[in-house]
Amino acid sequence: MLSDRELTARMQQVSCREMTDMSAQTLSVTIQVEFPAEDYRQLEAQARQEHVSVSQIIPDLVTSELRRRKKARRLLAEASRSYLARLAKEGKLDQTPEGIFAELRAVREVVADELLPR
């Protein structure tokens, strides 16, 4: 097992390449990344498990996280549009947030009473 000092030195040697396809040209940016020691140990373990180097794992993880966040933003935007459309259809678009939350709390109480009678 590496000491924290050796680990820090090793982390500083790890570089990531961000690959972006721009009109059939590949743009590669090299960056230096610093990780907490425990996170780096997890990266090393994952790299060993997948039989690749840590420097190959990092770009994949970053790309995966960026895709996940983009999808989450898209889903939240869709939910927001859907909810606004529903409010508009019900004529409640001008209702205050406090009014909406009060109504939702009341509905929650009704449902809870039906499912879990007191």
| Segment 22-70, tens digit of pLDDT | 444 667 788 888 889 999 999 999 999 999 999 899 999 999 999 999 9
Residues in the chain: 118
Average the pLDDT over 83-109 and give the result. Answer: 90
Nearby residues of 2 by Cβ (< 8 Å), 6 or more positions away = 10
Phi, psi (rounded to 5 degrees) for 92:
-115, 15
% of the chain residues with pLDDT over 70: 78
Phi, psi (rounded to 5 degrees) for 30:
-95, 130
Per the structure, the complete domain to which residue 20 belongs is given by: 4-115
Number of domains in the chain: 1
Instruction: Check whether 18 has a pLDDT greater than 70.
Output: no
pLDDT the model gives residue 19: 43
